[in-house]
């Protein structure tokens, strides 16, 4: 699982804090998750549902509404503020090439995504979990003293054990929302998930949403689940249902990537500035740059991959040599770092190796010599030739000359040279 920070501005320019969740494989579609009233992006439902969706190929942005969690601004602007935050989140994702097609909302966040969907043309489906039918439902859980608050004055209230200050403008905003009309005109596929034993938002709310919506619409009962989905089995089940259901309505990218006949293929994913998909005959993964330089930090950098190649080759070659010598080498651990301060200086790879096992000093020293003989070490320290040509558009997967056995042969040469020394 891969989680990276993703902050963006709300309509008033205040920074909202978000986290992008991705699975190990390619992202097939993107979604926005809106958390419950007074919760934040770290709530159990937000994290577990987002990660479960990500594991099934749907990348998710979960974020803190204005004034909650790590987001700036003042909490308590009512549903209108939350709607604007959802729209800003989606628009920020579009700017980074991660266009969301799915909105998922939990509790009051469900009310927000139902309302925000109409402003987002790219959204194809909406899923709500334990959502209220109308925004005023929140007022049933707030101190009645707030209902009599004078205009312009904020009064302290306690919600779910947390202290907040709300005013008459908050009450007025909730009472002015027409969720029924929004649901009737949703125009997207809708999934309603609700527990029949929900004590915070009763199951009657799910009935109201479902009856107001037009097809395509679906309802799934979260039997025995509580409102906050604190049982992992409930949150995982909800996520699995959402992912399976959404597959019918989202424009999913192909999850099966055709591997190259030989060599390695690298292609842009369209997400962020630098993210690429690396495809080999045996596996697929992402490469990227860190967030500090404008990347999404979704995978190793190109120099990480070079360092990994050196480290892997070192461990393999030392293992081959130790086995030929029948030395009691238990495990090899290699750490590699890379620095290049200027374009005029030579790159520097710093390699540190640990050899575990009952080895004497001479054997340790010999294995360090073998490390310097490994094929990738030689490639980096000796000369290599890079030939560049054009890949024809009508042959996007054309094979390049590549011999997977070369590495093994060169390791054997390194070990054979050492044996004869």
For every residue of 303-347, DSSP letters joined together read HHHHHHHHHHHHHHHHHHHHHHHT--EEEEEEEEEEE--STTSPP
Second-level CATH architecture of 302-420: 2-Layer Sandwich (3.30)
**Average pLDDT value for residue range 275-282:** 84
Report which DSSP code applies to 214.
P
What's the CA gap between 377 and 318, in Å, rounded? Answer: 12
Which of 69-83, 243-257, 269-283, 373-387 has maximum average pLDDT?
373-387
Statement: residue 393 has pLDDT above 80: no
Q: Of 55-59, 78-82, 214-218, give the lowest mean pLDDT range.
A: 78-82
Of 102, 396, 101, 89, residue with least CA distance to 268: 396
Higher pLDDT, 364 or 260: 364
CA–CA separation, 269 vs 83, rounded Å?
29
Predicted pLDDT of residue 220:
95
* Domain-wise residue ranges, the chain: 2-246, 302-420
Residue 421 in this model has a pLDDT that exceeds 50: no
Of the listed ranges 180-184, 195-199, 265-269, 369-373, the one predicted with least confidence? 265-269
Among the listed ranges 63-67, 167-171, 189-193, 286-290, which one has the minimum average pLDDT value?
167-171
Interval 2-45: pLDDT, tens: 788 999 999 889 999 999 998 766 788 999 999 988 788 998 88
Residue 149: pLDDT above 90?
Answer: no
Mean pLDDT, rounded, of the chain: 84
Distance (Å) of CA 310 to CA 36, 297, 306, 375: 47, 22, 6, 9
2-246 carries CATH number 3.40.50.1820 = yes
pLDDT at 270: 73
Q: What is the pLDDT of residue 27?
A: 83
Write down the pLDDT at residue 366: 95
Confidence of residue 145 (pLDDT cuts 50, 70, 90): low
More confident residue, 82 or 151: 82
């Amino acid at each position: 699982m891969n989680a990276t920070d993703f902050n963006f501005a709300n309509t008033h320019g205040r920074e909202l804090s978000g986290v992008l969740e991705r699975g190990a494989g390619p992202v097939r579609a993107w979604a926005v998750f809106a958390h419950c009233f007074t919760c934040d992006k770290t709530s159990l439902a937000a994290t577990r549902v987002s990660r479960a969706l990500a594991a099934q190929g749907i990348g998710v942005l979960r974020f803190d509404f204005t004034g909650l969690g790590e987001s700036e601004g003042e909490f308590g602007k009512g549903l209108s503020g939350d709607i604007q935050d959802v729209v800003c989140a989606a628009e920020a994702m579009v700017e980074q090439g991660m266009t969301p097609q799915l909105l998922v909302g939990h509790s009051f966040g469900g009310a927000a995504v139902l309302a925000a969907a109409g402003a987002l043309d790219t959204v194809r489906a909406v899923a709500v979990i334990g959502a209220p039918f109308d925004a005023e439902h929140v007022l049933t859980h707030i101190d009645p003293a707030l209902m009599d608050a004078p205009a312009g004055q904020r009064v302290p209230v306690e919600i779910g054990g947390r202290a907040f200050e709300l005013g008459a403008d908050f009450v007025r905003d909730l009472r002015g929302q027409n969720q029924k009309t929004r649901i009737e005109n949703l125009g997207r596929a809708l999934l309603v998930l609700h527990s029949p034993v929900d004590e915070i938002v009763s199951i009657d709310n799910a009935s109201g949403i479902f009856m107001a919506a037009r097809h395509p619409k679906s309802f799934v009962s979260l039997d025995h689940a509580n409102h906050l989905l604190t049982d992992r089995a409930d949150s995982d089940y909800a996520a699995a249902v959402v992912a399976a259901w959404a597959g019918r309505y989202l424009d999913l990218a192909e999850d099966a990537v055709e591997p190259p006949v030989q060599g390695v293929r690298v292609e842009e994913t369209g997400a962020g500035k630098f993210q690429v998909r690396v495809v080999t005959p045996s596996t697929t993964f992402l490469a990227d740059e860190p967030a500090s330089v404008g990347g999404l930090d979704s995978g190793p950098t190109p120099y990480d991959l070079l360092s990994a190649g050196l480290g892997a080759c070192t461990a393999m070659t030392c293992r081959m040599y130790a086995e030929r010598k029948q030395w009691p080498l238990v495990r090899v651990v290699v750490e590699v770092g890379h620095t290049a301060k200027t374009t005029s200086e030579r790159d520097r790879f710093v390699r540190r190796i640990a050899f575990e096992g009952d080895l004497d000093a001479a054997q340790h020293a010999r294995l360090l010599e073998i490390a310097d003989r490994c094929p990738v070490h030689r490639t980096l320290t000796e000369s290599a030739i890079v030939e560049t040509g054009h890949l024809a558009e009508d042959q996007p997967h054309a094979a390049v000359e590549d011999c997977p056995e070369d590495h093994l042969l060169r390791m054997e040469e390194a070990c054979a040279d050492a044996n004869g020394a």
